Structure 1
Amino acid sequence: MRKPIVLALLVAACLSGCSVKQDAGGGGQQEISFLTFETPNLPPAYWDAAIKRVTEKHPDIKVTKLVAPTTQGRTAYAKQLLQSGQFPDVMIAVDPAGFAEAGNLYDWKPEELTDFEFPQANPIKGGHHQLPANTQTIPPVYYNKKMFADAGITGTPKTWAELLQAADRLKAKGQQPFVIGGGKDGFPASMILTGIISVDVYGKTPDWLTQRRNNKVKFTDADFQAAVAKFADLAAKGYLDKDSVSRDYAATEQAFLDGKGAMYPMGNWFAANADTKKHDFDIGVFNFPSDSGKLVVPAYTGGGMSVNAKSKNLDAAKRFAIAFQTDKGQIDASVKADGLVPAIKGYQMPPDVGPVLKAGYDLYTQAVQQKAIVNSFGWETADDGLLPGLKEKFYAMAQDLVTGRKSAADACAFLDTEWEKAG
């Protein structure tokens, strides 16, 4: 279990004091491949500009951009590339589990991580195979302020009971309480379930998944099954639209922006589009509620670059990765595009970020100050995370719970069975 996150943005030193060296290396131009992914926040133009921003400062590096076929398919795609002998030199937000243990990812050395706030985050077998570049809260709950007001909801829910009351009032007004998705991306179906498990299970037992790895607990145990049952109950009450599980991530986000539902539990990256994309209502945000009202905020620090340990141009790949993650202009672009909280020493967020991003960031800072941060279930990427391949099973399980194909008991038994297969 990683330690609670401390705010990178409270550090006063300027970023220029921790910027990466910009020597060009020896010889001529070195070619590397870079595996990216595209989302509504991160379209092709974002990646093209980001690559150009770095290579202009490192002209000896030539980058070939690769794109994973779906937003959450990048890890599976990286596996395909590895199996076909085309493993990329650099990749971003690819789950290192499995790759690292097999020796396929470069193990970053302490002296290479001095620019990062949390250099010891996400260890796998004692090594560090992904740059700990940013923090994300997963998930806060974004909401349509007009729908809340029309339903007579005067405050944001602090407890699970208050969340159910709000959902009931919205449903009585003919509004869909929650916007969810699924489809080819999978994860939009599981966001609410991630919130419930993180708050209820990790809120009581922060190292629960580490204990699962040590076979001290099971998914069919009472606490975990009770959390899953909460999610199944939302579907049974009609608060979740069963037909929505076929909707991919981009369409899910657009459905919320189009006013097709009142609450949208999603990672804090949504704040960037909430501030910039067209919609005709004000958007608010609140922390995922607990039973008692105790503050428990799921978050994840990591998601950065990994480098192919066997890259032909390993030096160029490492320099590109570090430069991409520590360049002030590039970090500003990523904050505005994807709502990130950079975990880089000395970084300060641009003053012109939007109100939804600012509101979510303020919630995060309060949680840090109150030591209320826990891991976000299903998003961990280290020794305290799900076994390789289990995330996709978790997404599928969430969809089965929404559609009623599985009960809570069946779903938990399914996870235990798949865990044993993966182990």
Structure 2
Amino acid sequence: MKIKTLMASAAITASAWTAAAAQDATFYYDKNGWDEGFAALIEGASEASGLDIAGQQLTPTDRYQAYVMSSIAGGAAPAIFTWWNGKQLDSLVETGEIADLTELWDEAIANGWFSEAERELFSVDGTPYAIPLNVARWPVLYNKDAFAAAGIDAPPATWDELLADADALKEAGYIPFNAPAVGGWMGFIWFSELMVRTDPDAFVGLTDGTVPYNGPEVQRAMEIWTDFYERGYFTDAREQDETRFMVNEEAAMYLIGEWTAGILANRGMEPGEKIGAFLMPPVDAETENTVIVEAAPIVFSADAMEEMPALMDAARYLMSPEAGNALGQANGIYSGNLMTDAPNAIVSDVNAIIAEDAPRSVVRWWEAVPPELQGDLVSQMNAFMLDPTAENAQRVMDDMQSLNESYWAFQ
């Protein structure tokens, strides 16, 4: 089988499109730093199905989304592509172009690969329309050497300890948190985290229109975010290499999906040895402990499934423990398959934290918010990161609420 992975950063060249079109099927994705893992998945899926499958990376994320949706609108949905769950998957299914994968999930659950709870993450109205690429929690990754240099013996268990540790890291010459705003999507990370650390119910309310983006709950989160910038806790948001400050050890902590551990490992920061993980504590002791969960789906075109029945064999492989272990070994990413090994010490550590603390799980903002609002709202959050003042914070909140009101008024 011929396996070909084609990369594109912002625009796709004519030659790349021609090469991709020459294959039986093309697997589209937007994940930076996952190239080795996707190559392994594509090779395995090709061998399992007998199809000639190519890989096509399209970035940044907003252009990727635009390409996929315009392709579907034009009646040419990609055969295989990654997406997002929650309301993002709901909107995709509404097009009628996405394959029903009930049969595949029935097999996978019978095999003990996945649970019914995981099936629900990839379902719309009880029907599964996607399979897992990865299931990830969002902890804080930290540099163990930096913590030791700052005299920090253990990760913070309270908000006051978090602030004290950040100050100690600054005193030791580190920037406490790596916080980039690249790729058109990263602005929601700290916004979401500060919402769940102050009021997780309000965080959920933001995604269904019951809580305003300029209300007191958001005001408090934005005040903390602004204060962190004033304290000098964050790296320069304009940095285009999202892991550079961690890899060169200028920054000590990174709030991000646990899948980033594999990217850091490939850049010389070994999980468990160089980096550890903890869940950020709530601001107030009485606030419910919460973890943000991201489930990244792989979806299939209904037409492609009908035209190429062997594509089901590719999907079956992509759900298998073999595929999960291949992705884990290549990029340290956890597929959620219950029969796979934990790909690195970070996943093992987070599994242990979840088992001990039993935090509430909430769907990540990116997947939970209506897709019609997603891009405009995250652009506002990105804009705050580039001008993190109290005055701009108020403008951003008011602008987000104006967008929010306009959308929900017609629902």
TM-score range, shorter chain: 0.7 to 0.9
Residue aligning to 2:388: 404
The one-letter amino acid paired with 1:198 is V
Using the alignment, how far apart are the partners of 1:370 and 1:171 within structure 2? 29
- Give the C-alpha shift of residue 126 in structure 1: 4.7
Does the 8 Å CA contact 2:133/2:297 hold for their aligned counterparts?
yes
Using the alignment, how far apart are the partners of 1:273 and 1:96 within structure 2? 26
CA RMSD in angstroms comes to 2.9
The alignment-based identity, stated in percent, is: 19
- Give the C-alpha shift of residue 372 in structure 1: 0.9
Q: 1:332 to 1:107 in 2, by over 3 A?
A: same
Residue aligning to 2:191: 193
1:54 and 2:45 aligned: yes
- Give the C-alpha shift of residue 349 in structure 1: 0.5
Q: 1:88 to 1:253 in 2, by over 3 A?
A: same
- Give the C-alpha shift of residue 359 in structure 1: 3.9
Residue aligning to 1:319: 313
Does the 8 Å CA contact 1:194/1:376 hold for their aligned counterparts?
no
The one-letter amino acid paired with 2:345 is K
Using the alignment, how far apart are the partners of 1:206 and 1:269 within structure 2? 23
Residue aligning to 1:12: none
| 1:208 alignment partner, one of 166, 181, 205 | 205
Does the 8 Å CA contact 1:97/1:124 hold for their aligned counterparts?
yes
Using the alignment, how far apart are the partners of 1:358 and 1:46 within structure 2? 18
1:289 and 2:273 aligned: no
Q: Where do 5+ consecutive residues of structure 2 fail to align?
A: 1-22, 109-113
1:96 and 2:95 aligned: no
Does the 8 Å CA contact 2:187/2:381 hold for their aligned counterparts?
yes
Does the 8 Å CA contact 2:120/2:126 hold for their aligned counterparts?
no
Using the alignment, how far apart are the partners of 2:104 and 2:44 within structure 1? 24
Matches within 5 A, 1:150-161: 150-161=149-160
Using the alignment, how far apart are the partners of 1:72 and 1:141 within structure 2? 25
| 1:16-41 C-alpha deviation (Å, 9 max, x unpaired) | xxxxxxxxxxxxxx92232123422x
Using the alignment, how far apart are the partners of 2:106 and 2:405 within structure 1? 35
Which stretch shows the higher mean deviation, 267-276 or 187-196? Answer: 187-196
- Give the C-alpha shift of residue 122 in structure 1: 4.6
| 1:50-84 C-alpha deviation (Å, 9 max, x unpaired) | 2121221221x222332212356432331233345
Using the alignment, how far apart are the partners of 2:329 and 2:25 within structure 1? 27
Give secondary structure in 2 for the equivalent of 1:375: strand
Does the 8 Å CA contact 2:136/2:334 hold for their aligned counterparts?
yes
Using the alignment, how far apart are the partners of 2:399 and 2:355 within structure 1? 35
| 2:213 alignment partner, one of 185, 199, 219 | 219
Residue aligning to 2:257: 267
Q: 1:142 to 1:167 in 2, by over 3 A?
A: same
Residue aligning to 1:415: 400
Q: 1:337 to 1:300 in 2, by over 3 A?
A: farther
- Give the C-alpha shift of residue 331 in structure 1: 0.9
Residue aligning to 1:14: none
Give secondary structure in 2 for the equivalent of 1:322: helix
| 2:364 alignment partner, one of 368, 372, 377 | 377
Q: 1:306 to 1:141 in 2, by over 3 A?
A: same
More helix by share: 2
Give secondary structure in 1 for the equivalent of 2:54: strand
Q: With structure 2 as the length reference, what TM-score do the two structures score?
A: 0.79
Matched pairs, number: 370
- Give the C-alpha shift of residue 366 in structure 1: 3.2
The one-letter amino acid paired with 1:325 is M
- Give the C-alpha shift of residue 156 in structure 1: 1.4
Residue aligning to 2:303: 310
- Give the C-alpha shift of residue 128 in structure 1: 3.0
Using the alignment, how far apart are the partners of 2:350 and 2:310 within structure 1? 38
Using the alignment, how far apart are the partners of 1:419 and 1:310 within structure 2? 35
Does the 8 Å CA contact 1:121/1:301 hold for their aligned counterparts?
no
Give secondary structure in 1 for the equivalent of 2:243: helix
Give secondary structure in 2 for the equivalent of 1:82: helix
- Give the C-alpha shift of residue 240 in structure 1: 1.9
Does the 8 Å CA contact 2:60/2:184 hold for their aligned counterparts?
no
1:395 and 2:378 aligned: yes
Which stretch shows the higher mean deviation, 368-377 or 231-240? Answer: 368-377
Residue aligning to 1:363: 350
